[in-house]
Structure formats: structure tokens, C-alpha cells
Amino acid sequence: DTQKFNSSGNILLNNAGKMMAMMNKSAMQSRTARVPAARSRAQVRVRAAGFTTVEKQNPFAEELKKNAAYISQRGKGILASDESNATTGKRLDSVGVENTEDNRRAWRELLYTAPGLGQYISGAILFDETLYQKTKDGRQFVDVLMSQGIYPGIKVDTGLQVLPGGRGETTTQGLDGLADRCKAYRAQGAKFAKWRAVVKIGSDGCPTSTAIHENAHGLARYAQICQQEGLVPIVEPEVTLGPGDYSIEETAFWSERVYSHVMRLLNEYDVMLDGILLKPNMCLPGLDAPVATPKEVAQYTVRTMKRSIPPAVPGIHFLSGGMSEEESTLNLQALQEEMPQSPWALTFSYGRALQSTTLKTWSGKPENVAAAQDILVKLAAANSAAQLGQWKGPHPAPGGGRILQALRTGGAGK
């Protein structure tokens, strides 16, 4: 068509020209709209490739998953015997035994050589000194444990330090040099590691966001380093049982928040969730509040896990955290009744709940070793049955009350 001009010299478009201009504009807008979407898809592909590469580049990836699944097998749990020399000394002193290296070795030998313990225990957490110790007849502790099918693990954090602020909140030390220590522990026979982070609730505005973030970061970085060095990390975010009349609802609220932060940081650090184990607290009210029933504990604890822990995690190994031996078993049984088809193994990683009566029975006397080992195996068997939802009682160590566990700060061994 012949072009027409207005008084200003601009072209006047006829109907066909107007239609063509509108189509060109629409096509340009469509192409512009598609560019961010295409770029977004490319970015997603790059990020996904980065995540899978981290796992594929780890030569221990399949081993980590296999070991985590083994330790968290149904009907078994973990013996937590990683108390520092100072804490062990306090326990020994309670039964009149001097805190010497040989007495500590004798106590751990009693635990690890108990006949039949491997039927109920799949892993044992050791302290640094203990990992390198031997039985009286010269066998490495790690070999004694493996002969029973019990995987040796190692506590790798170096203790708690108080955070600034005057609230008594803590952070955990030990990241410096951790990779080298993990290499050495693996060479000695360790299969997994443990790092404890403690979050205080119930008083003085606790927990603060600073404490939650600081401890979540420490756990995530530790787990990342452990997996790089071939050790399954036990991630232990303990919302600690302490004084106060705070309710079980408050414990559940803060536990859910803490665990959610920990899981987010584990993902940000590319930690393989199917190559870790979790060691959390059960949801309990404060020590000055009425004791919750096992059913209440199970309801709040299971709800917290369902809301915050992905099913990729193979095992949730609850700490006994100041509970008596009998209460620890009753609550573990109630967890199975509350969620019999749990995607995780809801099981145990007990220290005091397996050792307290065992230690009192032994009391440092060689003639009591067999009796002490017998009660240890019975306690392990009771918790094994509870993990399967099959425990009926009576309990081998009935009664007992909750215990306030003092937090030792100042670094390793303090």
C-alpha cells in the first residue's frame, strides 16, 4: 500500500500495517517473557548437577549409607560410652573407684566384652582415649566390638563453650583440625562419629536465635567433614532437659524449630541425609513440672519428628537425657505404639540408661564383673524389645528418678 503521512511527516499505517505491528510487538514480548524462564531452567540444571556431583565425588558415599543403615537396624541401638575422662571420673567416684587410666580402661572393657551384647547393640560411641585402648589380654577395643557386630564410633567434638550474653547458652568446639582427626579415627577402625550441640530452653529468654543458628551451623559443618572423610556423622541437637516448670508443649515447639534449622543447614552443606544418624531428645517437660506419661511423650515427640525430619534419615537414636533407666524404656516402647510404621528407626543411643545400674553392680570389684555384664545385657535387651514395640516388663532396673545433667564447659575434658 502507498504510505500516507500526517502533518508532522510521520507515517500513518493502514489496517494491515497496524495488524502487522501488533503481531511483531506480541512476538517480542513473548520472547522476552521466555528468556527468564529458560535462564531459570538452566540455573536449576546447574544447581542439580552441583548437588549430585557432591555425592558422586565422595568415594565413601555408598559405604556411608550402608553403615548408617546397619547401625539403625530395627531391634538394636547404640551404647553411648563416650564420656570424657572428667565425666567418667565423676561416675567412678560415685562408686568409690579412683579415676585412673587403668580403671577407665577396666570399666570400658567390662562394657565391650559383655557376652551377647551384640544381639541388641549395633554401635558403641567411644572417647578418644578409649578408641586406642586394649583389653587386659591385649585385644584392641575396636576389634572386640567388631567381633560382636558392634560398630565402633568416636566422639569428635572438643566440648562446650559459653556464648556471650549471660544466659548460659553454649556452642560446641572442635571444627579446627577435624578432618585430620577423622582420618586418624577411621584408620583406627571407627565407622561413625558424634558431635553434641546443646540448646537451653525454659529460662532467661532461651533459646536465642544466635544459639540456634550457631549450633545448627556447627552440626552441619561437622557432618560435612565427617562424610568427606568416610565417617557416618551422628547429628545430636539436644534441647536439654533442665530445671524449670516449662511444659512439654514448649519443649516440642523449640525442638521442632531447632531440628528444622539443623536440617536446613545440613541441606545447604550438601550432607547426604541417608548417610547420617540423628540423636535428638525426646519431648519432656521441665524437671520442676509434673512428669509426662509415656503416651504424652510419644505423641509430642512423634509429631515433632514428622514435622521436621525427612524420611531419608535412616535412624533416630534418642538420648536418655536425664531419664531413669525404666522411663527410657517405657518411652521408647510408647514411641513404637504411637507410630508403628515409622519411616525411620525410632531407637536409642543411651549412656546412663544402660550404664547406671551396671556401674553400681560392678563398683570396681573384679568378682562383680559377670553380674554387671549380666545387668547390662538385660538392659540392652529391654530397650531392644521396646524398639520393636514388644517390651512387656518387668524392667531389670525399676524405679529411679530424673537427673539434672550438669553441662561441663571450657573445652575438652572439662
The amino acid at 387: Q
Residue numbers in the chain where pLDDT is lower than 70? 1-53, 402-414
Is-catalytic flag, 279? Answer: yes
Pairing of strands 277-278, 77-81: unpaired
Q: Which of 65, 214, 279, 325 is catalytic?
A: 279
The type of residue at 206 is C
Q: Which of 169, 236, 238, 325 is catalytic?
A: 236
DSSP annotation string for 228-241: HTT-EEEEEEEE--
Encoded amino acid at 366, one letter: P
Identify the pLDDT of residue 241: 87
The one-letter amino acid at 32: T
Burial 378-412 (b: 16+ CB within 10 A, else e): bbbbbbbbbbebebeeebbbeebeeeebeebeeeb
Residue partners of 26: CB distance under 8 A and separation at least 6 = none
Residue the block writes with cell 500500500: 1
- The predicted structure's pLDDT at residue 55: 87
Residue 242's pLDDT is what? 86
Per-residue model confidence (pLDDT) at position 13: 45
Distinct helix (H) and strand (E) counts, the chain: 13, 12
> Residue 236 catalytic?
yes
Tens-place pLDDT, residues 55-72:
889 999 999 999 999 999
CA 251/CA 200 separation, integer angstroms:
10
Cβ–Cβ < 8 Å for 229, 266: no
Q: Which grid cell sits at 220? A: 552441619
User: Would you say 150 and 128 are in contact if contact means Cβ atoms under 8 Å apart?
Assistant: no
User: Model's pTM, two decimal places?
Assistant: 0.86
From first CA to last CA, the distance across the chain in angstroms is 94
